[in-house]
Chain A
Amino acid sequence: MIESYLRQSALDHLGLAARAGDAPAGAAVIMAEKTLPAAVNLRGNKENPAFAAAVLEALGLQLPLEPNSVAAGDGLALLWLGPDEWLALAHNAPPEAEAQLAAKLRAALGDLHAAVTEVGESLACIHLAGPRARDVIAKGCPLDLHPRAFGGVGHCAQSHLAKTGVLLHQVGPENNGAPAFDLYTRRSFSDYLWRWLEDAGREYGLVVVAP
């Protein structure tokens, strides 16, 4: 019987917990792994009112229809990925949360033609924040992250960062004014992406912190 504490996050092998400290005041960029996200990929027909209603019933969130927008609720976010694709995300959730989230959606969707797929295990989440966070990302990502172009907090986009595909979700600024992003990549690419980001942030004095 394997206990859930034996779960390993995508970047487990880097021993980040031992390296992470508190963010020093005025750090230009901080970076952390947000371990073991729970995530469910959702496909469906937004034209069908029953579909949005089922999602609302299951998640308590309005289905975001604006491209690259995010509906956020209590510990749960629903990200627009495409005209018929969304991603429900939760952090700091127990191991069974992902399956439960998927089950709730499946139950609400019933016989509707939709696809609910658990994908959280396939994702790594790297949190990057600070006044120079945008500059670090811009080194490898062709998206314009300026608030006027990207939309600021509550927006997301799929793109590439260096040689990996990423899903960017802007989660800050909240209080301190500096932008904050959650960057999701496929688990197997996360080692490369983490090392790439650390290198890109070096000139700004990037600091690894606890999530």
Chain B
Amino acid sequence: MTGRMRLPQGGLVKRDETLSFTFNGKSYKGLAGDSLAAALLANGVHLVGRSFKYHRPRGIVSAGAEEPNALLQVGDDPRTEPNLKATQVELVAGLKAAAQNAWPSVDFDVGAVNSLAARFLPSGFYYKTFMWPASAWKTYEHFIRRAAGLGRSPSRRDPDRYDKTFAHCDVLVVGAGPAGLAAALAAGRAGARVVLVEQDHLLGGALLSQPGAAIDGKPALDWVAEAEAELAALPEVRVLKRTVCHAAFDHNFFGLVESVTDHLPQPPEQLPRKRLWKLRAKQAVFCCGAIERPMVFADNDRPGVMTASAVRSYINRYAVRPGRRAVVFTNNDSGYGAALDMEAAGIEVAAVVDTRPVPAGPLSERAEALGLRILSDSAVIAVEGKKRVRRVRIAELDAEGKNWVGAPQVIDCDLVANSGGWNPTVHLFCQAKGRLRWDDVHGCFVPDKAMQWGQHVAGAANGAFGLGACLREGAAAGAGAAADCGFAEASSAAPQAENHDFLPGRWLWLIPGEQPLGRKAKHFVDQQNDVTAADLRLALREGYSSIEHVKRYTTTGMATDQGKMGNVNAIGIVAEALDRHLPDVGVTTFRPPYTPVTFGIFAGRDVDDLLDPVRRTPMHAWHERNGALFEDVGQWRRAWYYPREGEDMHAAVNREVKATRDSLGILDATTLGKIDIQGPDAATFLDRVYTNGWLKLGVGRCRYGLMLKEDGMVMDDGVTTRLGEQHYLMTTTSGNAAAVLAHLEDYLQTEWPDLRVYLTSVTEQFATMTLSGPNARSLLAEMTDADLSPGALPHMAFTPGKVAGVPARIFRISFTGELSYEINVPASFGMAVWQALMTAGERYGITPYGTEAMHVLRAEKGFIIVGQETDGSVTPLDLDMSWIVSKTKDFIGKRSLTRADMAKPDRKQLVGLLTSDPQVVLPEGAQLVEKVLPQPPMPMLGHVTSSYWSPNCGRSIALALVKGGLARKGETLYAPLADGRVIPCVVAESPVFFDPEGERLK
């Protein structure tokens, strides 16, 4: 036997499959098919936690997603997850669960002293207590964080895998109860692509807990089994079990979380633990059912007080007796269902307490016929027993139901099954901004009007509580949704069943207690957040009359609960206190997620190596083999420097820089953006996007260009070459290639559609290698058939040719100030050509240099790097580059350059900077001041943008943006550093530190 409270027969559990598990360190046995809550109850465990604020003992209340109390910590660190609802956790062998919010144990909890201090923890407690003094918040926070909070986060990284996927369908059906199954069948039969989502691992919804129900003349679960088989056979239908539709976004976009392996004792290694479905549906049918509403009565949170439907679930689905002697407390017909099921299962029903003066309805009648003791026009006014219900006191109600009259009677019991009516589960409908209306007869909010196209609600979620109506509405909604997607309605008739709902009802929002409200006993409205009816009244007394304010002030319906159990009761109590009609109070906003989702699903597989693409050049493997360290440039991974044995970065970079100037360096420059430009208006186009003139560039010639944004700020730079009459090749900075292409396409398509120009990205068509240094020509000449003589190929010129037998484009351009050739070869030949150059270059001591050496070489020449010397707020004038800004033509950004602000003398301008001590290298980013004050703040003039040791100059060099810098040449500025050092430096006459005449280019 698995638990002393297990019924000898019945249920949907597998009696031959016993599973061991532990709760709070103690071992128990359950059955396959149990929820964790069912298995605990089967072992007689009701007490599962302590409440959030008062640390009151709490028991299992429900059998579903609405559970407010049984929030458990499941699994061992780091696979531990907090706040799992025991009612939703499928029992697996070896499962370990523990109560939260209780220390040292649920039986004896230190925090329970909060109960004694209850009147010091009123609603708005946090706002009232921790506001003053503001400086003390850091102290308060420390304690609040420790005392509040449910559960513990894992202490190490999550070892599991998570997955994400996009999905599409014609019809999404949420919920596989009778309405959902009928909807999915109708839509599926019509041929629509259907996704049916069910949070449970079994289809059937409420039918799983109602074995007596019949559909089409057969047991309802037989019908469910047939429906499941038929859906499985329909090729366009996908049934997702153990999947919660947690979010409804605009335009029928939904978030679903599928639990893939949590129910497996040994999850296969290749499977993700959970999967996020990002589903786009054409139509959606919400068949989410309804959640039974508890009644708000004195000490209604004692373990052993459950909803009537939960009692039915535990008996019928799990074959578990939630108690031995029960009192049913109801205000409608459905409470009697629990009474009848308990009677049948051998649980003594001591009494059915009914607030209605005249119990009526089919179940009430059957209970009456069976001779159950029914106390009409009565209510439970007190519950005794701290860790478990021991007895209740019952009294008659007055005509309004606001007070009790006469002498209370006492009934011993260990279980109170209560029903306060039903609330349609409208969360997704409302997340999608659907509008509700109040149904006075059923005493609940029901969907009124969907605000998104193609959304339907069917069954109990729509206020159609009878089984027959559920099936009818489901079938109609499914067929209608399919028809709206263009699938002819199938002719099959809707399944038939009896149609009873839970009427009549007497809706009382607050059951009177023995003492005035707020005295001694507590009437809980929201057990998860420990909010009582008295808290709501207090909030109203303090002036919060909007329900949204009441919610925030009292925290009712917040956090993982999202108003599943208490919201309508809260609204009812507020309405009564304000003497307003309930719907006039309104509902709070429904927000995703419906139930909590684990963070892992949002990361999915975008972790570690797959977090972001690493872009590799064709020569990447060579760099790796030759010991390069790499640097991220956008998504590119570029060789940074190539340290030799015993070299640190400084030594390696110095060697690479020296070797390049002394003889020959080679750089992998593949990452430079390349845009192929063709068309008769190409020159005009370039003339408009660059600041300088392009109309006179000859074929085979290259020109440096600066590109501005509309605001006049430098956006990009690069060399563009005229390859043919109407054919140009633009290069861009590595990190900016895609942005520049988008910028240019934008202008072509929207501003200048008349220009006959086509752009094509060819960045990756070529492997690019730069030979730089006095021996560059000598080496290349050995390898090519092209004429490299200065007359044939001067500086800033281009020639096609073959390099090592491979067709190539050779550009004589230089970013180092040395004689340089940029060679483009087809990408697939990149590695072979590189290796050929390395081999042939040995005699010149050819030295591969990385991005760091490149930076030093260009800084020695005072060449800027867009994104380093510029930051989106720097104009060409700020860079002292007015020589490249045309006065005679228009270009993007030109008008902005004429604004008065651009001519202000104190704009930050780019200057060279030389430290007074040549050995000291300024840190990049260092702030510059005119005068050092004893402590910050002090007026800052600008900052260092680039700073290196220059082995060719034999000293440190730097570039900086300095207010009015161009007028400060020769001035001494200071860089006060965080470590207390102050570095004096002089604004240089020119930022060109090496070969200012450009002799070496010749």
Contact = CB atoms under 8 A, between A and B. Distances in A.
Contacts of A195: 609-610
B772 interface: no
A115 interface: yes
A144 B165 CA distance: 12
A141 B827 contact: no
Contacts of A138: 165-167
A113 B679 contact: yes
B935 to A, nearest CB: 46
Interface string B793-833: 00000000000111100000000000000000011111111
Contact of B615 (A9, A144, A162, A189): A189
A121 B765 contact: yes
Interface stretch (A60-68, A175-183, A197-205): A197-205
A43 interface: yes
A46 to B, nearest CB: 13
Interface in B552-578: none
B612 interface: yes
Given A8-B828, A121-B765, A121-B826, A115 B760 contact: yes
A148 B830 CA distance: 42
Contacts of B223: none
B828 A2 contact: no
A191 B165 contact: no
Contacts of B605: 139, 196, 199-200
A139 B760 contact: no
Interface residues of B, number: 52
Which applies to chain A's interface (DSSP): helix, strand, loop or mixed? Answer: mixed
A138 to B, nearest CB: 5
B108 to A, nearest CB: 46
A192 B614 contact: yes
Which applies to chain B's interface (DSSP): helix, strand, loop or mixed? Answer: mixed
A6 to B, nearest CB: 4
A41 B758 CA distance: 11
A6 B680 CA distance: 38
A164 B765 contact: no
Nearest to A98: B826
A186 B618 CA distance: 12
Nearest to A119: B765
A114 to B, nearest CB: 7
Contacts of B163: 139, 200, 203
Contact of B829 (A2, A202, A205): A2
Nearest to A190: B616
Contacts of B758: 43, 84, 114-115
Interface in A139-157: 139-144, 146, 148-149
B829 A7 contact: yes
A19 interface: no
A166 B836 CA distance: 33
A120 B827 CA distance: 9
Contact of A122 (B166, B278, B765): B765
Contacts of A117: 676, 678, 760, 762
A122 B828 contact: no
Given A36-B828, A121-B827, A146-B193, A113 B805 contact: no
B621 interface: yes
Contact of B832 (A8, A99, A123, A144): A8
Interface string A106-127: 0000000111011111110000
Contacts of A7: 826, 828-829, 832
A69 B763 CA distance: 26
A209 B676 CA distance: 36
Interface in B259-288: 270-272, 278, 280
B215 to A, nearest CB: 32
Interface residues of A, number: 53
A25 interface: no
B390 interface: no
A187 interface: yes
B164 interface: yes
Contact of A121 (B678, B766, B805): B766
Given A121-B764, A146-B168, A196 B610 contact: yes
A174 B621 CA distance: 37
B171 to A, nearest CB: 13
Nearest to B831: A8
A187 B270 CA distance: 28
B765 A192 contact: no
Interface in B606-656: 606, 609-610, 612-618, 620-621, 636
Interface string A9-52: 11011000000000000000000000010000101000000000
A164 B165 contact: no
B679 A122 contact: no
B613 A164 contact: yes
A88 B617 CA distance: 24
B270 A203 contact: yes
Contact of B166 (A41, A84, A95, A142): A142
Contacts of B613: 162-164, 189, 192-193
Contacts of A202: 270
B165 A2 contact: no
A174 B171 CA distance: 30
With most chain B CB atoms within 10 A of its CB, the pick from A120, A139, A193 is: A139
Given A7-B832, A121-B765, A187-B827, A115 B676 contact: yes
A8 B835 CA distance: 13
Nearest to A188: B615
A143 B760 CA distance: 24
Interface of B: 163-168, 193, 270-272, 278, 280, 605-606, 609-610, 612-618, 620-621, 636, 676, 678-680, 756, 758, 760-766, 804-807, 826-833, 836
Q: Which 3 A-B pairs have the closest CB atoms?
A: A115-B758, A122-B764, A188-B615
17 contacts: A2-B806, A2-B833, A8-B618, A13-B620, A84-B758, A95-B828, A114-B758, A121-B766, A138-B167, A142-B166, A142-B278, A146-B168, A163-B606, A187-B764, A188-B617, A189-B613, A189-B615
Given A12-B831, A119-B762, A186-B764, 6 more contacts: A2-B836, A10-B827, A113-B680, A148-B193, A164-B613, A202-B270
